[in-house]
Amino acid sequence: MTLSPKKIILISLDTLRADHLGCYGYYRNTSPIIDELARDNILFNYAFTTCSFTLPAHASLFTSKYSKNHSIGFNNGLGKLNPDKDITLAEILQSHDYKTAAFVSALVMRKETNLNIGFQHYDDEMTESELNRKEELIRDGFETTARTIHWINEHTSENFFVFVHYFDIHGPYIPPEQFKYLFVDDEYYGNKFELNNIVDEFNLKHGIPDYQILNPNYDDTGKILTFEKDLRYYISQYDAGIRYCDYLLGILLENLKTRGIYEDCLIIITADHGESLGENDIYYYHGLTVTPDQIAVPFIIKPPNNFIDGLKLPIVIDIPVSIIDIMPTILCLCKIDYSDLLLEGNSLLEIIQRNNKTPLNIRLLLSENEYQAGIIPPNCILETYEKNSPPSHYYPCIKETISQLNGKKFFLKHERILRLQKISN
């Protein structure tokens, strides 16, 4: 027997690749809070996004549809969810007497996308600009956390669904000062490797994207004279951003405990996509491929106390899953019938209960962008394919890279074993 969760918190850590968390085998201590949560609860070793861009992936998260099938499609910039075609998780939970609220940290998640449908409170007030793109408005995760806590504290006695979106891992990688030097010159810093050129969306190989430049110096005309070129430094700052978000999650979780509602909460942590940190000669960018660096995301569930009779935690699951499984899993736990909604994801309750008869043992998962598709079977051997007829052309494409990856296989379980062996040694 399952008990319906009274309080649901869904957390999306934008641009977080799973293999930079300790619980997924990373060697740096980037995520002590997340690691502890994973160690005590339910960890999915092989979880994948549907698309390596923010808006299409979050639309999949909220509708349980692959990006090509929801109304935003692959339009990351100007996409808009059509309420006549798509029903959201928040809409359903609101109709079942959950108070609903969302707190997002980047302009791409603004109300105008219609991702706010179903949320009674949708906080998309941005308070600052990106370092190198002043038109890109964002909000620091500390402010997002404070606003989330304030709302939760006002609704402690009610059933609620809260969505929290953090953008502090996304580039440009500029963590707060107290986190900035955590991993600089540490034992894992490695050998120096410099990228000497700045690239833009028309030429994104073997260089630093112009919006990612760190430590720039300008002349009087605004031309960049010098900038940070060391690959190691950029990765250290990416990792520091993860540690900062981990710290913020600790503040949020501690507040739940102080309010006496932590045990009642269903908490899910995931990400919309990862980040390329040199794979395929692409640096500090996402969306160009659906290779593991960009589509393998974390997925951790902290269930409410005693929500399934006899369930023993922790649980580690090796069956591949997708972010489109999150919506049906939540609805199933809430005992809400969704059979007429034609969701493309599956409830994960059966595999959490260790029922080997689940159809999840035989299904294929899909992750894609406009130009490439990745197929993930149950054996976790990702294979990437070039699309013959791209459905749209919103974003840049490195044709040579897509062609080189056509038919390439990635043995994900083998890669994870090698990563864990590296740590143990």
**126 within domain boundaries:** yes
Sheet holding 265-270, edge to edge: 121-123, 99-103, 160-166, 7-13, 265-270, 299-302, 42-44, 315-317
| C-beta of residue 207 within 8 angstroms of C-beta of residue 195 | yes
d(CA 271, CA 249): 14
- Within-domain flag for 94: yes
State residue 285's pLDDT score.
95
| 24 within some domain | yes
Residue 407 located in a structural domain: no
232 part of a folded domain: no
- Cα 148 from chain centre: 18
| Residues forming a β-bridge with 382 | 410
Beta bridge partners, 230, equal: 194
Q: Which residues are within 8 A (CB) of 347 and not within 5 positions of it... i.e. 6 or more apart?
A: 325, 328, 329, 331, 332
Residue 114 has a pLDDT of 98
Residue 225 within a domain: no
What is the per-residue DSSP string for 122-157? EE----EE-SS-TTSEE--HHHHHHHHHHHHHHTTT
Nearest CA-CA partner of 141 in 109, 119, 110, 164? 164
- pLDDT at res. 311: 81
Hey, what's the torsion of the CAs at 344, 345, 347, 348, to 10 degrees? 150
Q: Which two tokens stand for residue 401?
A: 């890279």
For residue 292, the domain's CATH number is: 3.40.720.10
pLDDT tens for the 425 residues of the chain, in order: 567 899 999 999 999 999 999 999 999 999 999 999 999 999 999 999 999 999 999 999 999 999 999 999 999 888 999 999 999 999 999 999 999 999 999 999 999 999 999 999 999 999 998 888 888 999 999 999 999 999 999 999 999 999 999 999 999 999 999 999 999 999 999 999 999 999 988 788 899 999 999 999 988 887 888 999 999 999 999 999 999 999 999 999 999 999 999 999 999 999 999 999 999 999 999 999 999 999 999 999 999 987 777 788 999 999 999 999 999 999 999 999 999 998 999 999 989 987 656 777 789 999 999 999 999 999 999 999 999 988 888 888 999 999 999 999 999 987 888 777 766 65
Domains identified in the chain, total number: 1
* Predicted pLDDT of residue 355: 62
Q: Is the dihedral of CA 121, 38, 291, 413 positive or negative?
A: negative
Burial of 349 (C-beta count, 10 Å sphere; 0-12/13-18/19+): middle
Q: Which domain, by its residues, includes 263?
A: 7-176+238-363
CA gap 5, 417 in Å, rounded: 35
Structure-block tokens of residue 293: 């660096």
| 219 within some domain | no
pLDDT at 356: 57
- Whether the Cβ atoms of residue 230 and residue 153 lie closer than 8 Å to each other: no
Per the domain annotation, does 397 fall within a domain?
A: no
